[in-house]
Every structure is written in structure tokens, then in C-alpha cells.
Amino acid sequence: MNLLRKNANMIRELAWSDFKLKYYGSFLGLLWSFLRPVFMLGILYLVFYSFFKVNVEHYVWFLLIGIVFWNFFSDATKDGMQNIVSKAHILKNINISPLIIVISSLLQSFLTFMITLIVLFLILFAFGFYPTASFFLFWFYVALTTILVLGTLLVTIPLSARFKDFGHLWDIFLQMLFWMTPIVYSESLVPASYIKWYLLNPLSRVIMDARTTILYHAFPDPKQIFITLGIVSLILLLGCVIFKRFGKTLTEEL
Amino acid sequence: MIETSHISKRYIIPHEKKMTAVETAIGYLKHTVTYEPFFALQDITFRVESGEAVGVMGKNGSGKTTLLKILSGIISPSEGTYSLKGSVAPFFSLGVGFHHELTARENIYLYGALLGIPRERITEREKTIFAFAGVERFRDTKLKHFSSGMVSRLAFALMIQTDSDIFLLDELFSTGDKDFVPQSLSVLEAYKNKGKTIVLASHDLDLLNRHCSRSMLLHEGRLIDFGKTEEVIQHYIKL
Ligand SMILES: Nc1ncnc2c1ncn2[C@@H]1O[C@H](COP(=O)(O)OP(=O)(O)O)[C@@H](O)[C@H]1O
Ligand SMILES: [Mg+2]
């Protein structure tokens, strides 16, 4: 915490310059970050709605929310690993903590996520989904996802610095996770015998409940909220332990 | 003041090192996880007083950079301890934090932040920084259009805005035109007079002789001499 306060300026500058660079030059820069989910939405909608005939209420919005959360998780974790490699020269030559790179990378991904969410809401409102009391809880899930990403980065970044092929393993993992998360289908399709394991995936829990709060205007079960909170905290704790153990020698591994 | 006590840095030599998770897993299965230690530094003990300028010489691979990186906290020693009085500014390569797609002005804020210089101070001294670097006309030019000498100048101009007490410089003056090196060194002289501690690793023996009263000589990771620069230079030449 102390580290964050002392280096706030550094984190802000890093995140902001990365953000600028990512969408630099082209007027369409930021638009690209919307086009990808839109196309993803288009193809998944076609396949699952028209071909597979999934039976879900408000399927477009159901899908869109899933995609937006998923993209944040998958892009932020991939960008984080790339970021630590592309900033290796900085870490090797200036005495800054690798944690600063992790946080600034998260901040930059978060910024994109927020802009996407704002656009998402503008669209939803335009189609008549007005925020109700449960809307506030939605932001709780946004925060929870961000903490989940942080915890994940704290685990994956030291591993990706240590093992050069970790990026490939992570890609495979993400691909499997995508289908193990209720993004294109509803969790009600998961057989009862699997559901206990299925619901250990914190991303599933967050996406399901985020949908509940804004599409169905309902409050998720408080007990489930606590379980989600518990799982996310555990991942964060694991991240802290791993990063504490391997963060120090991370620079030398790069 | 810098004090080190029996510092060593051990590396696992690269061809033995398992670089991928798959290799590591296979290595565990086959029980071939053997490695040979390599000492980049071994048993280094010395003391540098505040306000001193000390040179570091040695052949390529003798451990100069490793020593300075340990002192600056970028890497940690495998064995031994060290202590520093005051804050450290490590200058390893000029312009590491610079990004070529950003303008000179954007870059000094980014790089400044990395060096821990507050934003306000950069705003305040923007003119001085650009003037020292001699690139006033190009402040809004992207860095990719700068020559490498200009980049070095800009980086150096920014680096000297830090308030640190100890300056660790590793072979910094290889780029830059004929005015750059003397200009930079005059800044260092001024810092020395202000009581800052400077450790300067260089292959330029003449430069070390002019600016450092004492020097250390590293050879194959060991500190084999530490004394008056002139004498250490003689020792180094005879190696
Ligand atoms: N990360 C590393 N892994 C393995 N060996 C290293 C590493 N960094 C430096 N070395 C070795 O340590 C020795 C000292 O390097 P260095 O301090 O850069 O020497 P100098 O700066 O005096 O030329 C060299 O033999 C180099 O190969
Ligand atoms: Mg060197």
C-alpha cells in the first residue's frame, strides 16, 4: 500500500502512456477495441442463437455482458505478461518494483474495460434497460473482477518471467476457461453432477451475478456473494504469496 | 557512504538453465536438474565515503555492471550485505524508459516519473532540461526522429534532475558528440563538490584518472585492487 502511494505518479504515467500508445495515431484507435467484441458478439450470436437455438431471455445482452467481462479478464492477463516483457529493459536498468509494472498494466486494461462498460450501458439504456437498485451491485462485480485479475496477474507474471513458454500454456488455459464459463450458454445447462465444480470458477460466478443485477434487476443470493468474495480473496492471497516469493528475483529471470 | 561486506553474486550458467516449463518438467522426470554455479562477483568488500568519486575498472565480464546493479537494488546479492547512506540514482543506460512513439516532452514526464522525479519539478525545469540537451526546437517531435546522441543528451539532462545522494554510472558516455562528455562531466564535478557520492564504471582510463581520486579493479568477479586511480590503472594495464 505504501509502495502504491509513493509511486502513484509513476504508475499513472506508465498506464497513461501505454494507453495512449495502444490507441495512438489512428482516429479509429479506440474504435478497434469495440469492433473486436462486436464481431465476437455477431458470430457467437449467429452460431448459438440461430444454429443451436439457445433459449435465453435477452440473449444479445446476455452474450454482450459475458463477452465484455471475458475480454477484460483475457486481455488484461495477456497484456500483463506482455507488458512485463516489453518493460524488461526498464526493470533491468532502473530500480523500480515489478509490482509497479503489474499495477500500471492492470490500470491500463481497467481503463479500456471502463470505457467499454460505459458504451455498453449507453446501448442498454437506449434499448430500455434502466438502472434499478441492483445496478449498484453491478459495480461491486466490476470491482471483484478487477481484484480477480490482479490476483491472477500476481501469479502469472512471475511464472511467465520464469518460463518462456508460459504464454502458450496460458493461451490454452484461457481457451478452456472460455468454454468453462457461462458466456455463450447459460449455467442452467450444466449437469447437476458438475455444477459444484463448475461454480468454483470465480469468473463464472461474477458474470452470472453481474447479469442478474442488470438484465434481471434482481439481487444475487447473499450467501453466493460471500462465496464469490471468498474465492476471489483466496486467489488474491495466492497471488500475494507467489509474488512475494518470486517478485524479488523476477527482474533477473526476464 | 557505501559499504559492502563479502558480496557475491552467483548465476546458473545459461546452457544449463531450464528456460521453459516443459523443459523443467522433463528435467524433473529425468532427474537431470543439475547446474553449475558461476560467480559473477565473489567476496567483494569495500567502503566508499560520502562525497567521494570512485572509479570501477576491469575487463568485459569482470562484474562491473553486476556490482553497480546490486548497489542500486535492481538485483540482490546471493551472499553478503551492503549498506548505503542516502538515496541512489542508478544510470545504466541512457534513455531506457523512453518510448520512440512519444514526443520528447511526453517522454520526459514518463521517464521522469520512472526516475521518481515529481511532475511539478519537471514542469518547472522543462526549459533547463531541453536547453541542456540542446533540443529546444524538438520538444514536440517524436523521439524516433531523434539521433541517438540527442536521446542520450535528453536522458542525461533529465537524470541529473534527481535529488539523489549517490550516483552510480555504468559506461554512460559512449554516445554523444564532442561537447556532450565534457558538459556531462562538469555536471558531475559540480555534484561531487556538493558532497554527492559517485561511482563510475568505465573503460576510459583517462576519464577515470581525471575524475576519480580512487578506483577499484575487478578481475573475474574478484576485487583485486582498490587504491589511488593512477596506481590501479598501472595494475590494470599489466593484467
Ligand atoms: N543474468 C545473468 N545470468 C548469467 N550470467 C550473467 C548474468 N548477468 C551477468 N552475467 C555474467 O556475469 C559476468 C559479469 O558481467 P558484468 O557485470 O556485466 O561485467 P562487466 O560489466 O564488467 O562487463 C559476465 O560473465 C556475465 O556473463
Ligand atoms: Mg558492463
Please name the member of B24, B88, B113 whose beta carbon is closest to the beta carbon of A10. Answer: B113
User: Which residue's CA lies nearest to atom 25 of ligand 1?
Assistant: B61
pLDDT at position A164 over 60: yes
Q: Which cell goes with B150?
A: 540527442
* pLDDT tens sequence across B14-70: 555 667 777 777 776 666 556 677 899 999 999 999 889 999 999 999 999 999 999
CB atoms inside a 10 Å sphere around CB A78: 17
What's this model's pTM, rounded to 2 decimal places? Answer: 0.88
Q: Regarding predicted confidence, which is higher, A249 or A101? A: A101
β-pair type (B88-91, B2-12): unpaired
DSSP string of B120-152, one letter each residue? HHHHHHHHHHHHHHT-GGGTTSBGGGS-HHHHH
Ligand nearest to C-alpha B59: 1
Q: Which cell goes with B56?
A: 570501477
**For the CA of B69, the nearest atom of ligand 1:** 17
* pLDDT tens sequence across B208-217: 998 899 999 9
The pLDDT assigned to A218 comes to 83
Closest CA to A247 of B38, B31, B76: B76
Closest CA to B84 of B193, B207, B222, B199: B199
Q: Which residues of B touch A248 (CB under 8 A)?
A: 76
Distance CA B227, CA B223 (A): 11
Chain-chain contact of B114 with A13 (C-beta, under 8 angstroms): yes
What integer is the mean pLDDT of B190-210? Answer: 89
Q: Which residues of A touch B41 (CB under 8 A)?
A: none
CB atoms inside a 10 Å sphere around CB B17: 12
Distance CA B159, CA B88 (A): 12
Q: Residues of B59-79 as b/e, b for ≥16 C-beta within 10 angstroms?
A: eeebbbbbbbbbbbebbebbe
Q: Which residues of A touch B121 (CB under 8 A)?
A: none
Rama region for A250: left / alpha / beta (φ>0; ψ in -120 to 50; rest): alpha
**Highest mean pLDDT: which range of A12-16, A167-171, B32-36, B210-214:** A167-171
pLDDT at position B183 over 90: no
ipTM reported for the complex, 2 dp: 0.83
Q: Which cell goes with B131?
A: 536547453
pLDDT at position B3 over 80: yes
| A202, A69 contact by CB (below 8 A) | no
Chain-chain contact of B113 with A93 (C-beta, under 8 angstroms): no
**Highest mean pLDDT: which range of A91-100, A210-219, A224-233:** A224-233
Q: Which residues of A touch B110 (CB under 8 A)?
A: 13-14, 17
Chain-chain contact of B93 with A93 (C-beta, under 8 angstroms): yes
Cβ–ligand 1 contact at B58 (below 6 Å): yes
In A87-165, which residue ranges form alpha helices assigned H by DSSP?
88-93, 98-126, 135-162
Cβ–ligand 1 contact at B193 (below 6 Å): no
Question: Which percentage of chain B shows pLDDT scores above 90?
Answer: 44
- Touching check for B140 and chain A: CB below 8 Å? no
pLDDT at position B184 over 90: no
Ligand nearest to C-alpha B17: 1
| B62, B218 contact by CB (below 8 A) | yes
* pLDDT tens sequence across B90-134: 888 787 788 888 899 999 999 888 888 888 999 999 999 999 888
Distance CA B124, CA A90 (A): 25
β-pair type (B2-12, B79-84): antiparallel
| B129, B157 contact by CB (below 8 A) | yes
CA of B163 to the centre of ligand 2 (A): 25
Distance CA B19, CA A163 (A): 6
- Touching check for A168 and chain B: CB below 8 Å? no
What integer is the mean pLDDT of B218-227? Answer: 94
The pLDDT assigned to A253 comes to 81
Closest approach of B186 to chain A, Cα-based (Å): 24
The pLDDT assigned to B101 comes to 87
| A195, A189 contact by CB (below 8 A) | no
- Touching check for B97 and chain A: CB below 8 Å? yes
Query: How does the average pLDDT of chain B come out, rounded?
Result: 87
Distance CA A184, CA A65 (A): 10
- Touching check for B22 and chain A: CB below 8 Å? yes
Q: How many residues does chain B have?
A: 239
Closest CA to A149 of A247, A49, A75: A75
Residue with cell string 486481455: A75
Q: Which domain holds residue A17?
A: 2-253
Q: What are phi and psi of A230, to 5 degrees?
A: -65, -45
What integer is the mean pLDDT of B154-170? Answer: 88
The pLDDT assigned to B100 comes to 87
- The total number of structural domains that make up chain A: 1
Chain-chain contact of B20 with A165 (C-beta, under 8 angstroms): yes
Please name the member of B21, B74, B93 whose beta carbon is closest to the beta carbon of A169. Answer: B21
The pLDDT assigned to B226 comes to 95
| A14, A91 contact by CB (below 8 A) | no
By most ligand atoms within 8 Å of CB, the mutation choice from B16, B62, B67, B78 for ligand 1 is B62
Report in angstroms the alpha-carbon separations of A202 from A199, A207, A226: 7, 9, 12
Q: Which cell goes with A166?
A: 508460459
What integer is the mean pLDDT of A199-220? Answer: 91
- Touching check for A17 and chain B: CB below 8 Å? yes
Q: What are phi and psi of B99, to 5 degrees?
A: -120, 130
Q: How many residues does chain A have?
A: 254
pLDDT at position B177 over 80: no
What integer is the mean pLDDT of A81-107? Answer: 91
What integer is the mean pLDDT of B74-97? Answer: 88
CA of A62 to the centre of ligand 2 (A): 57
| A202, A229 contact by CB (below 8 A) | no
Q: Which residues of B touch A251 (CB under 8 A)?
A: 74-75
CA of B216 to the centre of ligand 2 (A): 14
β-pair type (B2-12, B37-48): antiparallel
- Touching check for B29 and chain A: CB below 8 Å? no
- For chain A, the C-alpha Rg in angstroms (whole number) is 19
Residue type, A212: T
By most ligand atoms within 8 Å of CB, the mutation choice from B11, B36, B224 for ligand 1 is B11
Confidence of residue A179 (pLDDT cuts 50, 70, 90): very high
Cβ–ligand 1 contact at B5 (below 6 Å): no
Q: Which cell goes with A195?
A: 455444477
CA of B41 to the centre of ligand 1 (A): 9
- Touching check for B87 and chain A: CB below 8 Å? no
Residue B55: HSE in the Cβ half-sphere, 13 Å Cα cutoff:
26
Closest approach of A164 to chain B, Cα-based (Å): 5
pLDDT at position B176 over 70: no
CA of B179 to the centre of ligand 2 (A): 24
SS3 A71: helix
| A157, A245 contact by CB (below 8 A) | no
